[in-house]
Amino acid sequence: MPFLFPDHPTIGIFGFGAFGRLTARHLMDHFALFVHDINADAVSASASELNLRAADVVTVAQCDIVILAVPVTAMRSVIATISPHVRAGAIILDVGSVKMEPARMMLEGLPDHVDIIGTHPLFGPQSARAGISGLKIAICPVRGRQFCRVGAFLRHVLGLKVFVVTPEAHDREAAVVQGVTHLIAKVLVQMGPLPARMTTASFDLLVQATEMVRYDAPSVFWAIENANPYAGAVREQFFELATGVRDQLADNPCAKEAF
């Protein structure tokens, strides 16, 4: 019986990509899972392994907790589809990399009788390969008070480090934390194959960080860099400072000091 959810609630997951599957894997021991994806074969192939059921839109939308694990670009359409079917008192949450735009779409598109929570697991399939205990997740309360119960479950049952923040505060920090990381990773991947023999510890860590994000879906990179309203300014600052470093090297101040 799942801790802090004594009424045996059901969870419906819309979207069964890499993060939808990761979500199901860590919730299957605690809840009855129902999943819907445009690729029905992908859900059916994992149904027995992950203890879940492929279901139609209405069945998934009527679960006690509904998780939107779809790209930001698809979220408005999914919200419009499920809105007539969500039950009173349900919890609707997303798991995307940006929070302000999804929060706005959920507030505008979902009925007043549901709680809305923005969440961002600060990890992915690569960084969660050894388990998720001790990893971080951001929770952004949007409507209602059930985020307290969700946060307690994530903290006490799944062992995650929970940060409760506003969508604005999340996006402001994520613009640096994720935006810069993905920019560097995009460049390093294109510079490959990278050296793997005579490397330093710092280089190994850089490659490790790159590997954690290099296989993310293109929609993830797009959302991080375009759906976050703070990302553009951070990106321009990064490029401006990089250009400044290049100019310093071209000027070669060390050569002037030698004379």
Predicted confidence band at 257 (pLDDT cuts at 50, 70, 90)? Answer: low
Q: Could you say which of 165, 187, 213 is where a domain stops?
A: 165
Per the listing, tokens 């793997």 go with 196
Residues 115, 199 within the same domain: no
Phi, psi of 127 (to 5 degrees): -75, -10
What is the predicted pLDDT for the residue at 44? 79
Residue range 154-190, pLDDT digits in tens = 999 999 999 999 999 999 999 999 999 999 999 999 9
Does residue 3 lie in a domain region? no
Two tokens, residue 245: 């470093």
Average pLDDT, the chain: 92
Residues 65, 44 within the same domain: yes
Does residue 5 lie in a domain region? no
Predicted confidence band at 256 (pLDDT cuts at 50, 70, 90)? Answer: low
Does residue 227 lie in a domain region? yes
Does residue 1 lie in a domain region? no
What total of structural domains would you count in the chain?
Answer: 2
Residues 61, 131 within the same domain: yes
The CATH code of the domain that includes 121 is 3.40.50.720
Neighbours of 2 (CB within 10 A): 15
> CB under 8 Å to 62, separation ≥6 — which residues?
12, 85, 86, 87, 90
Residues 47, 158 within the same domain: yes
CB 64 within 8 A of CB 10: yes
Residues 144, 214 within the same domain: no
Residue range 85-128, pLDDT digits in tens = 999 999 999 999 999 999 999 999 999 999 999 999 999 888 89
Does residue 2 lie in a domain region? no
pLDDT higher than threshold 70 for residue 253: no
Per the listing, tokens 């290049």 go with 246
Does residue 21 lie in a domain region? yes
What is the predicted pLDDT for the residue at 6? 57
User: For the residues 187-216, what does the mean pLDDT come to?
Assistant: 93
Residues 152, 126 within the same domain: yes
Residues 64, 30 within the same domain: yes
Residues 19, 106 within the same domain: yes
Task: Please give the residue range of the domain that contains residue 250.
Answer: 170-257
Does residue 128 lie in a domain region? yes
Residues 101, 213 within the same domain: no
Q: Could you say which of 165, 194, 219 is where a domain stops?
A: 165
pLDDT higher than threshold 90 for residue 201: yes
Residues 25, 107 within the same domain: yes
Q: Could you say which of 165, 189, 224 is where a domain stops?
A: 165
Q: What is the pTM of this model?
A: 0.89
Residues 27, 104 within the same domain: yes
The DSSP result for the chain, as a single string, is --TT-TT--EEEEE--SHHHHHHHHHHTTTSEEEEE-S-HHHHHHHTTTTTEEE--HHHHHTSSEEEE-S-HHHHHHHHHHHTTTPPTT-EEEE--S--HHHHHHHHHHS-TTSEEEEEEES--TTTTTT-STT-EEEEEEEESSTHHHHHHHHHHTS--EEEE--HHHHHHHHHHHHHHHHHHHHHHHHTPSPP-SS--HHHHHHHHHHHHHTTS-HHHHHIIIIISTTHHHHHHHHHHHHHHHHHHHHH-HHHHHT-
